[in-house]
Structure 1
Amino acid sequence: MNNYNPEKGYVALLGWSLNAIDAVDRFDRRYIVVAPPWAEDYCKEHGIPYMPWNFDRLNERSHELAHQLKDEGVDVAIPLFEETVEWAGAVNSVLLGNPRLLGQSMLFRDKSLMKRRAQLGGIRVGVFEEAQDRSDVIRFLKRVNQTLLKLDGDPNDPIHFKAFDKSGTAGHRVIRTPEDVDNIPDEEFPALLESHLDGWEFAVEAWIKDRKIQFLNISEYVTLGYSVFVPATPELESHRARITEEIEKLIETFDIDFGFIHPEYFLTSDNKLYFGEVAYRPPGFNALELIERAYGFNGYQGLVVMFDPKTKQEEIDAFFPEPVKGARGHAGCFGVYPRRRVVSQLRVPEETANHPYFEFHELADPMEQKVAKRTAFGTHWGLAYFFGDDPHKLRDLLKAQEELDFYV
């Protein structure tokens, strides 16, 4: 660890992420990693400050972790994954003397509670309901399509099935027919059901301190579960003022004093913004790494600046660049999934490898030849990364990857 500034806070990272650890190790704060026991040998070998903890289930032992960290002198805990958001809330309620933070973290973890809270705050959401079993899903599918005045024989409008407490696209299914309902495993209940919203889907990454947005990035989805790039096209960025207002509503509704949020929205054809969901942790698809490639600042270090109760505004002002204008280009990634049922080797398509926007990939040779059927979003085999000046060219390039075979 480099020399840290004793006047700045001591932070605990909850969860295991080498990118996050590397970023914080190069920063000016003292830190400790709280991770499962399997990480201990690696931490010892590389001199990483470490405290073992199993994040199986939030229980009465959360206070034990909070007091261990308090005794260690830690000022604040930062969740790195969905599964550690509630733990961070429980720990910070003790470290910061604010019991409200535990309840707030539970809102971020339960998609149904989250939607209800958003609705109470006057935020526009689609139609949603909880499902305890398959019969609830069938009922919701029928009712939504009756409301849309569908006739017998018309194809159903889809609905979305989402696990209450999984991150992003994990546990997310699109349901169109009763047969789709039969394929849902019992263990995925209870779940959240949502009506389908046609429109432009995008995400926001917002770094927040003192109830104010300190930096806001708009990530444009090309295809959900496949591809994303930052900053967004000028067409989507033209809505930045409205999007900023929506984030301010989230800050007010969810009572957010500090931290980092990653909400998702739909912009419909009639120009209305609908809230999808919000997470209180770094996004998937290596979005923070994409933001660093585009802007030059490290998003994980940005999290530390936001969470640290000792941070001063002068440091924040010096840390973040100007949105959009401060970007050096546009960075995107594509989640690769085999298009064939049987594969034997990785072979990056020539048109991808030779494109000037292609940078590198994190794909490995297949471990098995038979490809499992894709049952939900979020099960890609690895990411391919791109960077360039023209957001439209990048968007079209990412879309084109869907028709190419990376595994043959």
Structure 2
Amino acid sequence: MTVLLMGFRSGAARALEKMKVPYIIWSEKELLNSRTAKKIIIDKFPVEKNDLQIYLSDLSDVTHVISSTEAGVIPGSKIRKWLDLHRNKDSVITRCTDKLEMKKFLSQKNIPMTKFLPSRAMKAEDIVGELGLPVVNKVRLSSGGRGVQFLSTLEEVESSMSRDSYFEKPLDGTEGSIESFVINGEIVFTNITQYFKNGECNIVPGQYTQQINEKIEELNSNVLSALRIKWGMTHLEYYLLDNGEILFGEVALRPPGGYIMEALKESYGINFWELFINVEINMQKTELKFKKSNSSTIIIHPGEGTVSSITGIDKIKKLESFKKLKLKINIGDKIDQRDGVGEDYGHAIMTNTNSKNLLRDIKSFYSLLEITL
């Protein structure tokens, strides 16, 4: 058995090593840590089968292909097809990566969502006439907030018309996500994640009422059923409006980012990267422990500039909920502008059996950590 890991996520690599599964990494980016992979390929993902054979002369050596990143989903599906391995249908992969095709298809299945329009099929005046201003412009093949533009004038809308994107009417409310494992078309596990601060702080599981939880789970079930996803891990983002209505945002067929996998481990008492690998390789149900705690991930990005001081770390480590803090910056380091939630300069993990105490410590974290630029 050899797994071809499309896109590098350290959690997936560590899980493969712990499970003693030989694996090959294919990444478009240089790796800071190569782990113990049999082979490491640093190049653009293959477009044709010949591109694959350049690096893998013996294709029969690959028994499983696992896509752990958004960019690896489509090429990973292509490779499964070339090697005649178990896979979801091409239409499923397209609808879980191309946001416009996703919304077109699911809107026909009566999935509730905000109104949207393609960027190239209409004039800017017509888009503003239907959606109003301000309006949101999103790239079709992207994730983590990359390429999102908030436009407030007709001129700004016109300048975005050439992008391979779509426009949406902005919403008043909050965002969140629901993670699922699907095996043989059946949802065998779900977790609702609350975005306490969008793009910065997540709470696992979300602190919602039972009624709200049921609405989110119903939306998730309807979306995954409509898409006919047969197996894998899904990450669906939703909008919770001020009136309690739940709207669909987008769905991905891969593990979540934002260190949510770490928070899942803390809350449920099981390594979710290992669970993900098990589902991908064995496609069997795995017994999950019941929720034992409430966890939070806090992503650290101080903004653009040069770091002049960092204070509050010692006090943060004394918080009741403190579990982990990893900073990747020092005084004097230059910080680049943040283009997506996948870009950070550190993160923290907080966990507590008491949800109120967790919320208290999250607020304390934000008041204690000071990174001056």
TM-score per shorter chain, which class?
0.7 to 0.9
1:123 aligned to 111, 115, 137, which one? 111
Q: Is the 8 A contact 1:219 1:229 kept in 2?
A: yes
How far apart, in 1, do the equivalents of 2:335 and 2:31 lie?
Answer: 34
How far apart, in 2, do the equivalents of 1:218 and 1:25 lie?
Answer: 28
* 1:239 paired residue number: 212
* 1:361 paired residue number: 325
Equivalent position SS for 1:82: coil
User: Normalising by structure 2, what TM-score?
Assistant: 0.85
Q: Residue 369 of structure 1: CA displacement?
A: 5.6
* 1:398 paired residue number: 362
Cα separation, partners in 2 of 1:373 and 1:49, compared to 1, 3 Å: closer
Q: Residue 295 of structure 1: CA displacement?
A: 1.1
2:3 counterpart of 1:11? yes
Q: Residue 251 of structure 1: CA displacement?
A: 2.3
Equivalent position SS for 2:224: helix
User: 1:69-121, CA deviations, whole angstroms, 9 ceiling, x for partnerless residues?
Assistant: 751151x3110111100011112224446786333222222111111121122
**1:6-405 to 2 correspondence within 5 Å?**
10-27=2-19, 30-36=21-27, 43=34, 47-50=36-39, 52=41, 54-56=43-45, 58-59=47-48, 61=50, 64=53, 70-74=59-63, 76-96=64-84, 101-132=89-120, 140-141=127-128, 143-145=130-132, 156=133, 158-177=134-153, 189-235=163-209, 237-308=210-281, 310-312=282-284, 316-318=285-287, 320-321=288-289, 326-338=290-302, 341-348=305-312, 352-366=316-330, 371-372=335-336, 379-399=343-363, 401-402=365-366, 405=369
Structure 2 residue ranges without an equivalent (≥5): none
Q: Residue 356 of structure 1: CA displacement?
A: 1.5
How far apart, in 2, do the equivalents of 1:41 and 1:365 lie?
Answer: 16
Q: Which moved more, 1:53-62 or 1:196-205?
A: 53-62
Q: Residue 239 of structure 1: CA displacement?
A: 3.1
Cα separation, partners in 2 of 1:10 and 1:241, compared to 1, 3 Å: farther
Cα separation, partners in 2 of 1:109 and 1:48, compared to 1, 3 Å: same
Q: Residue 207 of structure 1: CA displacement?
A: 0.7
Q: Which has the higher strand share?
A: 2
Q: Residue 201 of structure 1: CA displacement?
A: 1.7
Equivalent position SS for 1:117: helix
Aligned identity (percent) is: 19
Q: Is the 8 A contact 2:139 2:148 kept in 1?
A: yes
Q: Residue 374 of structure 1: CA displacement?
A: 5.0
Q: How many residues align?
A: 372
Q: Residue 248 of structure 1: CA displacement?
A: 2.3
Q: Is the 8 A contact 2:304 2:336 kept in 1?
A: no
Q: Which moved more, 1:78-87 or 1:14-23?
A: 14-23
User: 1:20-48, CA deviations, whole angstroms, 9 ceiling, x for partnerless residues?
Assistant: 111121126x33123249879965xx642
Q: Is the 8 A contact 1:335 1:384 kept in 2?
A: yes
Q: Which has the higher helix share?
A: 1
Q: Is the 8 A contact 1:81 1:281 kept in 2?
A: yes
Cα separation, partners in 2 of 1:262 and 1:353, compared to 1, 3 Å: same
Equivalent position SS for 1:285: coil
Q: Is the 8 A contact 1:361 1:385 kept in 2?
A: yes
How far apart, in 2, do the equivalents of 1:26 and 1:262 lie?
Answer: 24
Query: Cα RMSD (Å) of the superposition?
Result: 3.5
What amino acid sits opposite 1:71 in the alignment? S
Equivalent position SS for 1:239: helix
User: 1:198-251, CA deviations, whole angstroms, 9 ceiling, x for partnerless residues?
Assistant: 22321011011010111111111011111101111142x543333333222222
User: 1:122-166, CA deviations, whole angstroms, 9 ceiling, x for partnerless residues?
Assistant: 211111122259x96676345423xxxxxxxxxx5x432222212
